[in-house]
Amino acid sequence: MTDQKYELATFAGGCFWCMVKPFDEEPGIMKVISGYTGGIKENPTYEEVCSETTGHFEAVQITFDPAIYSYEKLLSIYWQQIDPTDSGGQFYDRGQSYQTAIFYHNENQKQMAEESKRQLEQSGRFSKPIATAILPAKPFYPAEEYHQHYYKKNPAHYERYQFGSGRKAFIEKHWGNE
């Protein structure tokens, strides 16, 4: 039996409801949790984060086995879920708590995130500069239970939100079937 070493990846991509499904149930992904990070308030509530007074981002924290699912692959999927040029939030959701950010947990993740951002900037896929921040990981606070795996608990509302927010159309326009 070999020792398994799991790692954490933390991504803010606007509404955390939309950031779970792309990573969930993939081989090597142990769990995906919706929550709050990057701010100053300990154990914030959803209402507090939405009030824009805590400094927190809505985010997902992924526990993964890097021997099965690489951090580079996580980054690739992350970029394909967001509008990385929007500094004011994501799609329908506006404000600091909905801004995009990659929270790195070690120097290796920082370097990979910076390199993936550089590659995306140089790809010419977007006409505006990439606004996604790359920040050191801070304490992560799981969101309330009703936010966890929202796409499974409320599939019809989740699909309407994906469509109505503009996220789905943006992803299809910029990434197609990738």
Q: Is 18 a catalytic residue?
A: no
Evaluate whether 56 touches 43 at the Cβ level (below 8 Å): no
Residue 8, class by beta-carbon neighbours within 10 Å (0-12 exposed, 13-18 middle, 19+ buried)?
A: middle
**What is the Cα–Cα distance from 137 to 42, expressed in whole angstroms?**
15
Among the listed residues 9, 15, 49, 171, the single catalytic one is: 15
Q: Which helix (H) or strand (E) holds 116?
A: helix 107-123
Distance in angstroms (rounded) separating the CA atoms of residues 94 and 31: 27
Provide the 3-class DSSP secondary structure of residue 45: coil
What values do phi and psi take at 9, rounded to 5? -130, 135
Residue from 72, 55, 58 nearest 9 by CA? 72
Cite the active site residues. Answer: 15
